[in-house]
Amino acid sequence: MAKQDIKQLTELAGHLFTAQWPMLSLYQTLSDHFYPERSDFTVTRNVGQELADSLVDSYPVLVRRDLCNSFGSMLRDGEWFNVGVDGESDHHGKMWLEFGTHKLRKLMNNREANFVRATKEGDHDYGTFGQCALSVERNRKADGLLYRCWHLRDMAWSDGCDGHIELVARKWKPTYWHLKQYFANTKLGLHESVARSVKDTPFKQADIRHIVIPSEMYGDDEIQSRFKYVSLYIDVANNHLMEEVGMHSKYYVIPRFQTIAGSPYAYSPATVVGLPDARALQAMTYTLLEAGERYARPPIIATQKVIRGDVDLSADGITWVDKEYDEKMGAALRTLPQDRGGFPIGEHMRAGIVDVLASAFYLNKITLPETTHEMTAYEVQERMKQYRRENLPLFAPIEAEYNAQLCEASFDLAMANGMLGSPYDIPESLQGKDVMFKFESPLSQSEEEKKVNQFSQVSQLLAEAADHDDTISANVNLDVAFRDAVNGMGAPSTWLREMEQVLNSKHASAMQEAMQKSAELARVA
């Protein structure tokens, strides 16, 4: 396969954005109702412009905010992930995995890595539009990671034959000054016209396309033999390739919420369900506000040819009436009678819409169940089990689709750039094994702690049974059970000695005890 030229690559990116274009109108509608801060898919908003000027009820925005904020607080709080492998590893392997976990967390939590900001923006895109676009890359100093969230308006992608995202294109409009900073030390570099104009017009915007393409599709044999993907930066206006770099990872992480067969673009089940109710709520609230205003300031009926001038409805206003008018014929000014019977009905209907929106955005499920002092430990445990059963269908796929992709991309990039130490330091028990990330959250943490509770219960049973039979403990492998319970508590692997050392120590103790018994028998004899 011949290597693709710049024209073919630009046409390929154009094809992706043509297929993406119909999604923008849906994104604009969803953002108008639920995420006004992001409502610039088909319109251009100026800085400082009022964002929610089309809304009369903010409840749809609030439910989106609460759901999307729960992603980070529920799934990425504290020490939320651990690096593991597929299968078992020995003691040295576990110690290296703990080291790798600690090092990777430190890289991700570094303030300059921008992880919190990028995932915060990504969470709200994910919950509102059903997907978000994040990039995982080295920082400019090449000594750490950098995370960025990109506007979905500027991102387009397609699926491969396996159903995973294969080809990604991004529109980018950086200034000439930023281009110079970004590509100052690259092999190809800026186009000569851009390089000449940086000094005179540093804030002029360029039209750039970033394409991440499988190396097999790109057609460069040398890159294909070493890397799975290729990162390409193209200056569209000057038809110039600025950077061509082979990569082992996809660079972009694009988690998808609810996918539909045959489409590379996903949807948010929360906003799809809630959009009709959000529209109804805005119209209903507007009607109720208008009705309330009519009650507070009812229309005035004036008798014809009696009022001298306009009716003054302002505070302390005076309206002059012809002195010849006889009040026996009725008041010259009187309010229009209002039937207020429909207002409570409207309030009741609005409350129903609010409940539906709360359910559509899972707010009735993600709130922790109430526990009181009067409840027994068993009742609290059962309520927490019910809470996990209701929330696992929502959060478990997010862990697998969102957090796992982020961690895998971060780990691969950190390993490729020596940020996790030398690959020669990896113990032999881990060589050739696939990395598997284990996540800790209020939903999964109790599952890990189950081993601790089981060990405690088994210990109590053994203590009770030992009163009848001293040899009952032989039924249980206490070494394995105890080590599993310690690991289940999340204790460091350094707290446990290697199993071989434990067996040697037990053997030495048994030998010493046997020698003491032999010495005692010899003295008796």
Percent of the chain residues topping a pLDDT of 90: 45
Alpha-carbon distance 146 to 136, whole Å?
A: 6
CA distances from 360 to 203, 237, 265, 402, 424 (A): 44, 45, 21, 21, 51
Q: Which is more confident, 211 or 381?
A: 211
Window from 38-42, 300-304, 423-427 with minimum mean pLDDT = 300-304
The pLDDT of residue 270 is above 70: yes
Alpha-carbon distance 291 to 343, whole Å?
A: 8
What confidence score (pLDDT) does residue 371 get?
67
Question: Count of CB atoms within 10 A of residue 160's CB?
Answer: 12
Amino acid identity, position 90: D
Alpha-carbon distance 440 to 105, whole Å?
A: 13
- For residues 227-232, average pLDDT: 93
- For residues 69-90, average pLDDT: 88
What confidence score (pLDDT) does residue 333 get?
64
What confidence score (pLDDT) does residue 449 get?
63
Q: What is residue 463's three-state secondary structure?
A: helix
The pLDDT of residue 479 is above 90: no
- For residues 375-396, average pLDDT: 76
Element (H, E) at 411: helix 404-416
Contact 153, 172 (CB under 8 A): no
- For residues 185-203, average pLDDT: 87
Q: Spell out the long-range contacts of 56-59 with Cβ–Cβ below 8 A and sequence spacing 24 or more.
A: 56/282, 56/285, 56/286, 56/289, 57/281, 57/282, 57/285, 59/281, 59/354, 59/357
Q: What is the pTM of this model?
A: 0.81
The pLDDT of residue 314 is above 80: no
- For residues 236-255, average pLDDT: 92
Domain ranges of the chain: 6-42+106-270, 299-337
What confidence score (pLDDT) does residue 373 get?
67
Alpha-carbon distance 450 to 524, whole Å?
A: 51
The pLDDT of residue 208 is above 90: yes
Kindly state the DSSP code that residue 399 receives in the 8-state scheme.
Answer: I
Q: Which residues pair with 214 in a beta bridge?
A: 229
Window from 44-48, 206-210, 403-407 with minimum mean pLDDT = 44-48
What confidence score (pLDDT) does residue 330 get?
65
| CA 467 distance to own-chain centroid | 54
Mean confidence (pLDDT) of the chain: 85
- Residue with tokens 């409805």, as numbered in its chain: 313
What confidence score (pLDDT) does residue 357 get?
94
- For residues 231-257, average pLDDT: 92
Question: Count of CB atoms within 10 A of residue 1's CB?
Answer: 10
What confidence score (pLDDT) does residue 504 get?
72
What confidence score (pLDDT) does residue 448 get?
58
Q: How many residues does the chain have?
A: 525
The pLDDT of residue 68 is above 90: yes
The pLDDT of residue 446 is above 60: no
Contact 134, 253 (CB under 8 A): yes
- For residues 151-159, average pLDDT: 96
For the chain, report the end-to-end CA distance as a whole number of angstroms.
Answer: 92
CA distances from 423 to 125, 417, 489 (A): 36, 10, 29
What confidence score (pLDDT) does residue 167 get?
95
Q: Pick from 110, 181, 94: which is nearest to 147 by CA?
A: 110
- H helices within 82-157, ranges in order? 91-109, 115-129
